[in-house]
Structure formats: structure tokens, C-alpha cells
Amino acid sequence: MRIGLLETGEPPESLQPAFGRYGGMFQTLLGPDHAYTTYDVQAGQLPGAPEQHDAYLITGSSAGVYDDLPWIAPLSDFLRAARGQAALVGVCFGHQIMAQAFGGQVVKSDKGWGVGLHRYAVSRPQGWTDADSVAIPASHQDQVVTLPPSATVIGGSAFTPYGLLSYDDAPGRKKGAISMQFHPEFDPAYAAALIEARRGTRYTDAQADAAIATLAAPNDRLRVGGWIGAFLDQETLRLGAR
């Protein structure tokens, strides 16, 4: 399968020697049986046309989808063009930019930061899901607050009601799209290191300590990686994609 990794952000520079970049984290999560191409979206890189890849995965970012940044509008235009033509998976910022590009609304939530291990209920099981809830690392303050037309809520939590979305009825749809607010690509060590890097700036000591403590519990990140793989297989096999 040809997967375009749309990197919309990067880990703090101090963490990259140990953990790499987000594109690499997703390659590790999804496994070696795909042809990956990574695009530095913040540097203005995007595929020339949606059909260049069978699927696209949009990563997390420290940016907000509402920020006045020169790469936000071109990315939104590309996602609208790619919708239905390639399988789409959005994670955290990717989840939010898909929602905004497709007609929803994203804001900086007055709930504050969601960080650490969060549990999300699966309210509408799909062919690619195999559990009624999952515990996954989260790291976000922004949230989708208005659903785009045609979006279906697959799962969420009290903190993040629109935590897992599916888009199934794009005009002329050939392939579907899903997005999730949580971070299946974050292993616990990276999630903890990221919290430590933000201690005292984004989080208080008490918030950081509480969030790091949750990361010792079992998590379902590999299960959700399997969900993404199963979804991509389902959608790309629809047209016999490579």
C-alpha cells in the first residue's frame, strides 16, 4: 500500500534523537509492509495529486487549525480534493484539520489540557474495530466542537465527545476517511518525555505528575494501530490498490 505521511508537526528537537519524528512513529506502528512517503507540510510540501498514494495519514502538530499559518489553507484544500479519492486517517491535529476542512469547527477548549492515558468508548462499532473501549495516550487542548456534515461519531469520552469520527458519504466516494483525537503512535516513554518537556510551561507540576502516573497502566495503542491498518486494507482493497 502506498501511504503518504503528512507531517504537520514534529517532536521537540531535544526528543528527536531518542524518539524520531512523527512520520517514523507511524511507520513503526503500521509496520514495514507499506511504501511510505513523508511530506513536511509545514515546509510547504504536499503531494502533487491525491492519486499519488492509496492513503494519507495526517499527523499531530503543536499548531492550531485556526492559526494564521501559510500551510494550513493548502493542506485543507488538499484534504478536500483527496476526500473520497484516497483513504484518509487523521490523528490529533489531523483529526481537527479534517473536521475543519470538511465543514466542522475546532476551538481551544475551556476544558483545558487532555494529557496522559485517556479511555475512549466505541459507541458505533465498525468492521475494523474489535473492542468497546480503548485506553490511549492523549495530548491536546483543542477539540472538535461542531461536527462536519456527514461525519459520524464512532467513539469518544466525557472529556472528548467527538474523539473518533468516520466520514462515509463523500460525493463520488471511492474510499473512506476516519480520524481520532488520541495518539496511538505515542509509546508511553515518548508520551512521558513529552510531558516532562512541557512541565512548567503548558502543564503545572501537579498536572504533569498526574498525567505521567496514568501512563503506567496498560494501553491499547497497538490495538488501535491494528484498527488503522484494517481500515486502510478495507478501503484500499475496495479498488484493488497496491
pLDDT value at residue 170: 55
pLDDT (average), residues 5-22: 98
pLDDT value at residue 38: 98
Please provide the average confidence, as pLDDT, over all residues in the chain. Answer: 95
pLDDT tens-digit readout, 47-69 = 999 999 999 999 999 999 999 99
pLDDT (average), residues 209-233: 97
What distance in Å separates the CA atoms of residue 82 and residue 84, rounded to the nearest whole number?
6
What distance in Å separates the CA atoms of residue 157 and residue 186, rounded to the nearest whole number?
19
* % of residues, the chain, pLDDT over 90: 93
pLDDT value at residue 242: 43
pLDDT tens-digit readout, 75-120 = 999 999 999 999 999 999 999 999 999 999 999 999 999 999 999 9
pLDDT value at residue 241: 46
- All structural domains of the chain, each given as residue ranges with its CATH number in brackets, are 2-186+220-237 (3.40.50.880)
pLDDT value at residue 209: 97
Vertex 214 angle, CA 186 and 92, to 5°: 35
- Residue 172, pLDDT > 70, answer no
pLDDT value at residue 171: 56
Dihedral sign from CA coordinates of 123, 124, 129, 132: positive
- Residue 189, pLDDT > 90, answer yes
Q: How confident is the model at residue 169 (pLDDT cuts 50, 70, 90)?
A: low
Q: How confident is the model at residue 168 (pLDDT cuts 50, 70, 90)?
A: confident
